[in-house]
Structure 1
Amino acid sequence: MNKLSWFILMCLVCGTVVLASIIIRQSNQSSEAVRKPIDIPTLSQESVGIKQDAVDQKKESKTLLTGVKTETLMKNRPFMVMVNNHPSARPQSGLSSADIIYEILAEGEITRLLAIFQSEEVQGSIGPVRSIRPYFIDLAMSYDAIPIHAGGSPDAYNILSNQSIQSLDEITNAGPFFWRESFRKAPHNLYTSFKNIEEGIDKKGYRNQIHEKSIYTFLLNKSNDIGERVSLFNVTFLIEDYKVTYQYDANSNKYLRSINGVPHVDMNNNEQLTASNVVVLGTDHKVLDNEGRLQVKLMDSGPALLYQNGIMKKVEWKRDQINTPIRLYEQGQEIAFVPGKIHFLIVPTKPTFEAHITY
């Protein structure tokens, strides 16, 4: 091969190598472009977590005192109205909207109803409103509830004053937020309303935000707890012919309340009062004076009956700290309530606790 031919051959070889190198390099660059992730804006884990928490919170929001799921969670502080339960005061107004009702003796062998409101706005009036007692204040404070009343015993006024308890009293500090109706005679005709109470709380500058996220634990599903099936039971306090009855309705899983065989209804809507949980508990009652004023022991522990899901359970009530509510226990474990309204009926332990309940 002559020198010219050799030179031409070498040029062809070098050109082929260079061309192959360029092709390989372009191919690699193309592959890298394919493998490179596309730069798409994404939400951080923290942002996703916040959004998910918001969804979960909306999905799982429950009312403070009844554990009922809701999408319109009210954050107002509870208030407790002292409601007259004399026969001349029935039917009362607003009770069907109460989250929790306590029935407890005042003097004179007639009970008083302490109605705690928080989860829903009452449509219509609330009452008739009556006076307050020291153990009523104790129960109100156990739920961080503002007491709503008309007057009170001397001991109750001392407690309200000495402890600077925020309350709305028709007689001393909140008269304009109450009114009297003409269709009943005093003292069975004093009323207020949800709107008036809210305005009174705002006018007085009281705190109106809840402290606690929950008060009790609630069952997620209908429980199959072991107990005695009881569909109807009666409770008497002191007067034999004054009998409160609860009838279990399996369709609604609620207990319907009657007094002396007559449905106990709310005058606002003519609906019979119902509860998903009824608690009858016994404790010591002591007469303090000639007026028949009582001292009712609400600390320590004692016997109780819990009615829920058509079943009666013998349990124990306990309360060992001020500003905490009465709780129920079985074999040392706190009992959960069925989501819904709760009625507590507090009876004396004399002659015996059991003597006040029949079924």
Structure 2
Amino acid sequence: MIRKSWVLVGVFLLVIMGTACGSKDLSLNQGKKDEQQEKPQVTTKEPFTGEPLVEENRPAVMVMINNHRAARPQTGLSKADMVIEALAEGEITRFAAFYHSNMEGTVGPVRSVRPYFLDMAKGSHAVVAHAGGSKAALQEINDEKLPSLDGIHKEARRFYRVHFRKAPHNLYTDLQKLHEGANAITNITKNPIVSPYHFNRNGAMEKGQVAKEVHLSYHRLYKASYRYDEESGRYIRYSQGIEQKDRETKEPLTMENVWVIKAPQRVIDSAGHRRIDWDQGGNGMLFQKGKGISIAWKEEDGWIIPLMDGKVAPLIPGKSWINIIPENEKVTWR
């Protein structure tokens, strides 16, 4: 009996020790998992296009590009990963062009910034390249210490005037110079770009309607349109019925994704400055592969996000153009 009792005690001790050891191992493994979760996820995709990442720890640059009739055709819009277009003063829109994957080549004409364009840059911590700005925009840059490269003030050395256009439509810059300037004033490792966009090759067009041509109005005096090119699988951009081309390359501006969203906006002063309200989000259309689908949109942490059935609508890897039109304007397609 004594021998059997000792055997039972020994087995009991082994079970306890085994359990303890197992608990210790699980604890260590859990610690390793926690450490892995705490480490920032290394992105392998471009934040605006979903294509393979060109360079890690590269800051994004948002360039304010002029769209006055005297500024067309522009240079460098074809190099942008994403372009956001919205009305400035009067019937003229302005382009907020985001550069990340391609930081080489000429861009311009560069124009001044407004507060609602600054809002668009905050999600990606983009350095804003601009030619001055409204009093409210410059005050916001100063008060919030937003990273910017002002082509007519502190950072004028990174910009230059061309002879073939008249001021204020003749200020240009170089993406490499902007890249160098952005690296000098921002810490991208402290503020990494965390993109909210989802990408896949099929996009969101399973239930899409035919949309080979898209026509939209920003103002009774300014309209834009897009035509789908079957061969390339991209839309071609038109301003006022004229195919929009790059001044240097002569190539048409094309993109995989075209969004048209409506946002509340109004003129707030005698100079014609506007305010665009982002808080409530709204409705719009997403066009891909010659089809269109109704979407909702929201602004979150400085990003404009397309939604479909309450989830982030998938984009096709490639370039996007976001058109922000007033609520009383129209978009049609066929």
Trace 1:284-299 onto structure 2 (pairs within 5 A).
Answer: 284-299=264-279
State the distance in 1 between where 2:87 and 2:164 align.
26
Secondary structure in 2 matching 1:256: strand
| Alignment check: 8 A CA contact 1:236 1:357 kept | no
> 1:128 is matched with which residue?
109
State the distance in 1 between where 2:85 and 2:145 align.
26
Are residues 1:80 and 2:58 paired? no
Cα offset for 1:258?
1.3
Cα offset for 1:220?
4.1
1:216-237 per-position Cα deviation (integer Å, ceiling 9, x unaligned):
1101446651121110011111
Cα offset for 1:339?
0.5
Are residues 1:345 and 2:323 paired? yes
Are residues 1:238 and 2:226 paired? no
Are residues 1:64 and 2:47 paired? yes
Q: 4+ residue runs of structure 1 moved beyond 2 angstroms?
A: 72-75, 198-203, 205-210, 212-215, 220-224, 355-359
| Alignment check: 8 A CA contact 1:249 1:256 kept | yes
Trace 1:269-348 onto structure 2 (pairs within 5 A).
Answer: 269-319=249-299, 321=300, 323-348=301-326
State the distance in 1 between where 2:57 and 2:251 align.
26
Q: 1:172 to 1:223 in 2, by over 3 A?
A: closer
> 1:54 is matched with which residue?
none
> 1:259 is matched with which residue?
239
Higher normalized contact order (CA 8 Å, seq sep 6+, divided by chain length): 2
**Structure 1 residues not aligned, in runs of 5+:** 1-56
TM-score (norm 1): 0.77
Query: Percent identity between the aligned chains?
Result: 35
State the distance in 1 between where 2:310 and 2:263 align.
19
Are residues 1:155 and 2:132 paired? no
Secondary structure in 2 matching 1:122: coil
Cα offset for 1:126?
0.5
State the distance in 2 between where 1:105 and 1:263 align.
20
Match of 1:140 among 93, 113, 121: 121
Trace 1:17-96 onto structure 2 (pairs within 5 A).
Answer: 61-69=44-52, 72-96=54-78
**Structure 2 residues not aligned, in runs of 5+:** 1-40
Secondary structure in 2 matching 1:326: strand
Are residues 1:199 and 2:180 paired? yes
State the distance in 1 between where 2:250 and 2:57 align.
28
State the distance in 2 between where 1:122 and 1:249 align.
27
| Alignment check: 8 A CA contact 2:63 2:110 kept | yes
> 2:100 is matched with which residue?
118
Cα offset for 1:330?
1.7
1:205-224 per-position Cα deviation (integer Å, ceiling 9, x unaligned):
33245613544110144665
State the distance in 1 between where 2:253 and 2:233 align.
13
TM-score (norm 2): 0.82
Q: 1:155 to 1:132 in 2, by over 3 A?
A: same
1:225-265 per-position Cα deviation (integer Å, ceiling 9, x unaligned):
1121110011111134x321100112211101112222101
Pairs aligned (count): 293
Q: 1:152 to 1:222 in 2, by over 3 A?
A: closer
